[in-house]
């Protein structure tokens, strides 16, 4: 028993470092990313693999990826959204009113796939700080029937101008 406790104490910081810097699994809450995540309101919630190394340490991210970030209005809550634009990009917020936003340096534009059910850059936050990004969602790992890679979407037609350094 004593050996088991010593091994467990040694593995605890390794596990914490792994889930903080490399990868973790996260339960998807809500309907903001429907139909990509949690497509069936009556079915089980999706659980996703979140790869963190490239985002947190290498500052590498791609338009169209599903990302996990800390909510700008609640530092204790993580949210899952799609990264639509990065610093230097210009995005049309509303085609009817022709309103647009140029994403400032150090910021990005995130939106849920299910706009009416999403608090995001368009409806609540505006451009969010890149430092809030925690990782990218790469795979659905649960339920078994939905296991697979999460697709990166093409650039939206609302993206007017892109900064080629972040393709």
The catalytic residues are: 32, 81
Report the alpha-carbon angle 92-97-101, nearest 5: 30
Tokens of 149: 């890679």
From CA 17, how far away is CA 32, in angstroms rounded?
29
Tell me the residue ranges of DSSP E strands in 15-158.
23-27, 47-51, 66-71, 74-86, 90-94, 99-102, 107-111, 128-129, 133-142, 148-149
- 159-161: strand order across its sheet: 99-102, 90-94, 159-161
Phi, psi dihedrals of residue 107, rounded to the nearest 5°: -125, 170
Tokens of 53: 């190394």
- Distance between alpha carbon 152 and the CA centroid of its chain, in Å? 11
């Amino acid at each position: 028993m004593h050996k088991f406790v010593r091994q467990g104490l040694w593995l605890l910081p390794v596990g914490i470092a792994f889930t903080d810097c490399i990868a973790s699994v996260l339960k998807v809450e809500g309907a903001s990313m429907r139909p990509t995540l949690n497509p069936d309101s009556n079915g089980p919630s999706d659980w996703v693999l979140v790869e963190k190394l490239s985002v947190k340490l290498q500052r590498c991210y791609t338009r169209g990826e599903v990302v996990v970030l800390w909510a700008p209005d609640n530092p204790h809550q993580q949210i899952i959204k799609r990264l639509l634009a990065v610093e230097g990009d210009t995005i049309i917020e509303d085609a009817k009113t022709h309103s647009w936003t140029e994403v400032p340096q150090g910021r990005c534009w995130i939106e849920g796939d299910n706009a009416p059910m999403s608090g995001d850059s368009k409806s609540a936050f505006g451009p969010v700080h890149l430092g809030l990004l925690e990782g990218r969602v790469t795979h659905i790992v649960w339920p078994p029937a939905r296991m697979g890679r999460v697709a990166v979407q093409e650039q939206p037609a609302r993206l007017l101008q892109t900064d080629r350094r972040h393709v």
